[in-house]
Structure 1
Amino acid sequence: MDPTMAIVLSSIGVLGIGVAISFFVGRRQKGIENWNVGGRSLPMYVVAGSQFATGMGGGVLVAHIGIGYDGGLSAITYNLLYSFGIILLVMLAGWLKKQNFSTLPDIFRKLYGEHKIMMSAVTVLAIVVPFGWLCTQLVAFGNLFTEITGLSFTLLVIIFAAISLLFVLPGGLSSVAWTDFVFGCFMLILAVASGFYMLNMAGGWSNIVSNVPENFVAFPEGMGAIGTTTVVLWIFAIFPGALTNQMSYQRIYAAKDAKTAKQGFIIAAIAGVFSGVWASFMGISILSQNAGLENSELAAGWFLTQIPTWFLAIYSAFIIATIMSTVSSAVQSVVVNITNDIYKSYINPEVKDRDLVKASRGLSVLIVILAIVLSLYYPQALGWLQATYAYSAAGLLVPIFLGIALRRTNFLSKKGAMGGIFLGVIGAAVAQIIDTAIPYAVYGVVASLVGFILVSFIFKNKSNMEKKVAGL
Structure 2
Amino acid sequence: MAVNVVYISVFIIYLLLVLAIGAWGYRKGEDVEDFWVYGKELGLWLATWSFCAAFVSAASVIGFIGAIYGGGYSFMTGVILGLMLGVSGLYFVVGKIRELDKITFPDIIADVTGVQMSRPVTAAILLANGWFFLIMQLVGASLLVTTITGVPYKYMVWVIGFVFITYTVLGGLVSVAWTDLVQGPVMVGAVLVTFLYMVVDLGGIAAINTRFAQISAGNVAPLGDGAYTGIGLAATILAFFGTLLTTQRGIIRINATKDIKTAKLHIAIGGVILSMFYVFLVLLGGATTVALTSAGLAVENVDRAFPVLMMEYLPTALGSVLIVAVMSAILSTTDTALHSVGVTTSRDIYDYFATDPSDERLLTVSRLSTIFWGITATAAAVNPPGTIITIYNLRAVLLTSGLLIPVYIALYNRNTFSGRALITSMSLGGASGIGWELMGGTFGIPATFVGVGFASISLLVVHLIDTRIQSPQRVKAVE
Query: TM-score by structure 2 length?
Result: 0.91
Match of 2:451 among 444, 453, 459: 444
Unaligned runs of 5+ in 2: none
Conserved? CA contact 1:94–1:258, under 8 Å: yes
1:389 maps to: 396
1:354 maps to: 360
Conserved? CA contact 1:419–1:452, under 8 Å: yes
2:291 maps to: 289
TM superposition shift of 1:223: 6.5
1:428 maps to: 433
Conserved? CA contact 1:84–1:269, under 8 Å: no
1:132 maps to: 132
Match of 1:334 among 337, 341, 353: 341
Tell me the matched-pair count.
Answer: 465
Amino acid at match of 1:268: G
Q: Deviations over 1:74-108 (max 9, x none)?
A: 34332332222122222222222222211111121
Match of 2:371 among 365, 387, 392: 365
Query: TM-score by structure 1 length?
Result: 0.92
1:84 maps to: 85
Q: Deviations over 1:25-81 (max 9, x none)?
A: 432232111111121110111111111111111111211102222343334332332
Conserved? CA contact 2:74–2:219, under 8 Å: no
Q: Deviations over 1:395-448 (max 9, x none)?
A: 1111110111112x3x22122112211221243245332623121111101111
Q: Deviations over 1:354-396 (max 9, x none)?
A: 2221222222211111011111232521111111110121111
Amino acid at match of 1:415: R
Cα distance between partner residues in 1 of 2:156 and 2:142: 6
More displaced 10-residue stretch of structure 1: 74-83 or 53-62: 74-83
Cα distance between partner residues in 1 of 2:268 and 2:224: 25
Cα distance between partner residues in 2 of 1:4 and 1:248: 37
Alignment of 1:11-410 (within 5 A): 11-77=11-77, 78-116=79-117, 118-213=118-213, 221-222=221-222, 226-228=227-229, 230-291=232-293, 292-304=298-310, 305-346=312-353, 348-378=354-384, 380-407=387-414, 409=415
Indicate the RMSD between aligned Cα atoms, in angstroms. 2.2
Amino acid at match of 1:59: A
1:414 maps to: 419
SS of match in other structure, 2:451: helix
TM superposition shift of 1:251: 0.8
In 2 relative to 1, CA 62–231 (structure 1 residues): closer, same or farther, beyond 3 Å? farther
Conserved? CA contact 2:43–2:262, under 8 Å: yes
TM superposition shift of 1:3: 5.2
Conserved? CA contact 1:232–1:439, under 8 Å: no
Amino acid at match of 2:270: A
Cα distance between partner residues in 2 of 1:457 and 1:98: 30
SS of match in other structure, 1:42: coil
Amino acid at match of 2:242: P
TM superposition shift of 1:289: 2.8
More displaced 10-residue stretch of structure 1: 285-294 or 275-284: 285-294
Cα distance between partner residues in 2 of 1:24 and 1:426: 41
More displaced 10-residue stretch of structure 1: 67-76 or 143-152: 67-76
In 2 relative to 1, CA 279–302 (structure 1 residues): closer, same or farther, beyond 3 Å? same
In 2 relative to 1, CA 49–10 (structure 1 residues): closer, same or farther, beyond 3 Å? same
TM superposition shift of 1:277: 1.4
In 2 relative to 1, CA 27–52 (structure 1 residues): closer, same or farther, beyond 3 Å? same
Conserved? CA contact 2:401–2:451, under 8 Å: yes
Cα distance between partner residues in 2 of 1:420 and 1:329: 27
Amino acid at match of 1:425: G
In 2 relative to 1, CA 11–295 (structure 1 residues): closer, same or farther, beyond 3 Å? closer
Cα distance between partner residues in 2 of 1:34 and 1:464: 47
Cα distance between partner residues in 2 of 1:131 and 1:266: 28
Cα distance between partner residues in 1 of 2:472 and 2:271: 47
Amino acid at match of 2:86: G
TM superposition shift of 1:115: 4.4
Q: Deviations over 1:200-244 (max 9, x none)?
A: 3333323312212276675xx536665236533421321111111
Cα distance between partner residues in 2 of 1:426 and 1:188: 37
Conserved? CA contact 1:76–1:223, under 8 Å: no
Percentage of matched positions with identical amino acids? 24
Cα distance between partner residues in 1 of 2:361 and 2:143: 38
